Structure 1
Amino acid sequence: MRPLIRNLAGLAGFFLLWEAVVRAGLVNAIFLPPPTTVFARAIELLGQQSFLRDVVATMLAWAISLGISILIAVPAGLLLGSVPAVRVATRSLVEFLRPIPSVALIPLVILLVGGGPEAKITLAVYAATWPILYNTIYALDEIDPLLLETARSYGTGRTRTLAFVALPHAAPFVFTGIRMSASIALILVVSTEFLAGASRGIGNFILDASAGGGRSDLVLAGTVVAGIIGFIINDGLERLGKRWFRWSTVTSGAQ
């Protein structure tokens, strides 16, 4: 509870400073409205059905993206982490694909799958897969060889060893990767909605607000809502990880 209070206190201090700078006339309120105005607009938006549909569209794309990323990255990480030959054979391809910025792939993705929800889901899956994949591989690299040898000495096959020995050991690392990917997926979904002009979503709302008369108060209100959603997701996953893996220092020590 104390870390949450400290985080909220830091945010409150930032917003107070922001309010003071604007009220003192150091920044034009037309271009940067004070937080009181922005939060008032955000509360108004949350009472509008059209904006709530945008929020639902963003969250649905985020949930689908994160779920697909988990389904891809965990098995792939177990395979690459447990079979050295496969890991060596795919290393060049993985190291080539991983550094490519997801937003740079927007034109290609739009050509391949169109500009609908598929585009933002595809890009979010691409970006969110890497942290889970690498955390899974790292977890298998750190596993105690004695655990594997003990399983083999009892005649446990490779598949059962992965499922009942390696995966439980890797679970805290995998969950940390999921927590990182959750934030990344949300960023990519909103960014793609903004850059690719999706028909629905928080990013599309921000795009329309910036284009329709330059309503910076609505732009910032939409941005604040996205930030609050991201904060809630990260804090919720952090608390869940500490509850599920309280025996591990991987999640209990994560900030």
Structure 2
Amino acid sequence: MKGGRTREQLLLGVTGVLLAFGACEAVSRAGLVRRSYLPPASEVLARAAGLAGDSAFLDGIAATLRAWALGLALACAIAVPLGLVLGSVPVVDAAVRAIVEFLRPLPSVALIPLVSLLLGSGTETKVALVTYASVWPILFNTIYGLGETDPLAKDTLRAFGFGRLAVLLRVELPATAPFIAAGIRISASVALILAVATEILSGFGEGLGIFIAQAGLATDGTRDVLAGVVWAGMLGLVINGVLVWGERRLFPWTPERRGAG
């Protein structure tokens, strides 16, 4: 049952991609849109494939992925402990809730000039912005997961004399782990978007976003821009697929996993 549903979803996804590919190819070939604005999809994909042999481009991909990984790791290191504290200590939650709600809506890209001024140009700025944007899904998923912990399990441990820390480690943290994993998966996509967007908007350093930004300034650079976008989409697809696979292996008992079976 599970394998059949997975194959069906994969088939539908491939069908959707092929239809989008065919539509873009047909529109461009028919001349409905100028090729300088929308090159044929086949040319874009050929260019994207050709970039796999460009060492300078691959170095840029590596730079983007380094900023992505460092920012996401820092976000996890900050958001998970903070979420556990806010979710389990009401006094602390009440004290900092106003600050959290003030900071959360601030768009990360709007902070690029300030962060660049403070940290200069380079990986540090990208990592800082990626970390800031990635903290929130993990933080709030952690808090929500603590709220969903079975109160009977916690009361049982307390009745046997276990302290607050033991309840947190033995019951609350394991129960919250699937929510944390989901938050990390969401933040992984946000982190990649911020890493590329920061490179595009800041215009310094190296990375996939720099390639896209420079291609956008070149004459007839639309093909390269779209090839870079294809790479960004493929990176996001691979990252999400790996994290979904990890969630299924680590937390097979969760309701959505059982339902998928």
Deviations 1:27-49 (A, max 9, x none): 11111111100011011111010
1:201 aligns with 2:222: no
* CA distance in structure 2 between the aligned counterparts of 1:249 and 1:110, rounded to whole angstroms: 44
Offset at 1:8? Answer: 2.3
For 1:35, the equivalent position in structure 2 comes to 41
* TM-score, reference length from structure 1: 0.96
Offset at 1:249? Answer: 2.1
Correspondent of 1:153 among 159, 171, 186: 159
1:191 aligns with 2:197: yes
SS of residue matched to 1:46:
helix
Instruction: Pick which of 77-86 and 229-238 moved more.
Output: 229-238
* TM-score, reference length from structure 2: 0.94
1:7 aligns with 2:13: yes
> Given residue 36 of structure 1, which amino acid in structure 2 is its aligned partner?
S
What is the Cα-based RMSD across aligned positions, in Å?
1.4
Counterparts of 1:99-118 in structure 2, within 5 Å, are 99-118=105-124
Question: Do the aligned partners of residues 187 and 253 (structure 1) sit closer, same or farther apart at CA in structure 2, a change above 3 Å counting?
Answer: farther
Deviations 1:191-222 (A, max 9, x none): 00110113210000111111232411111101
Question: Do the aligned partners of residues 252 and 23 (structure 1) sit closer, same or farther apart at CA in structure 2, a change above 3 Å counting?
Answer: farther
For 1:126, the equivalent position in structure 2 comes to 132
* CA distance in structure 2 between the aligned counterparts of 1:24 and 1:87, rounded to whole angstroms: 59
For 1:170, the equivalent position in structure 2 comes to 176
Offset at 1:158? Answer: 1.6
* CA distance in structure 1 between the aligned counterparts of 2:224 and 2:259, rounded to whole angstroms: 37
1:45 aligns with 2:87: no
For 1:69, the equivalent position in structure 2 comes to 75
For 2:239, the equivalent position in structure 1 comes to 233
Contact 1:238 1:251 (C-alpha < 8 Å) held by counterparts: no
Contact 1:120 1:192 (C-alpha < 8 Å) held by counterparts: yes
Identity among equivalent pairs (%): 50
* CA distance in structure 2 between the aligned counterparts of 1:221 and 1:57, rounded to whole angstroms: 18
Deviations 1:66-113 (A, max 9, x none): 111111110000000000111111111111000111111111111111
SS of residue matched to 1:25:
coil
Q: Structure 2, unaligned stretches of length 5 or more?
A: 1-5
* CA distance in structure 2 between the aligned counterparts of 1:140 and 1:6, rounded to whole angstroms: 36
Question: Do the aligned partners of residues 4 and 214 (structure 1) sit closer, same or farther apart at CA in structure 2, a change above 3 Å counting?
Answer: same
> Given residue 46 of structure 1, which amino acid in structure 2 is its aligned partner?
A
Counterparts of 1:72-111 in structure 2, within 5 Å, are 72-111=78-117
* CA distance in structure 2 between the aligned counterparts of 1:163 and 1:119, rounded to whole angstroms: 35
Question: Do the aligned partners of residues 251 and 99 (structure 1) sit closer, same or farther apart at CA in structure 2, a change above 3 Å counting?
Answer: farther
> Given residue 6 of structure 1, which amino acid in structure 2 is its aligned partner?
L
Contact 1:151 1:161 (C-alpha < 8 Å) held by counterparts: yes
Question: Do the aligned partners of residues 208 and 118 (structure 1) sit closer, same or farther apart at CA in structure 2, a change above 3 Å counting?
Answer: same
Count of paired positions: 254
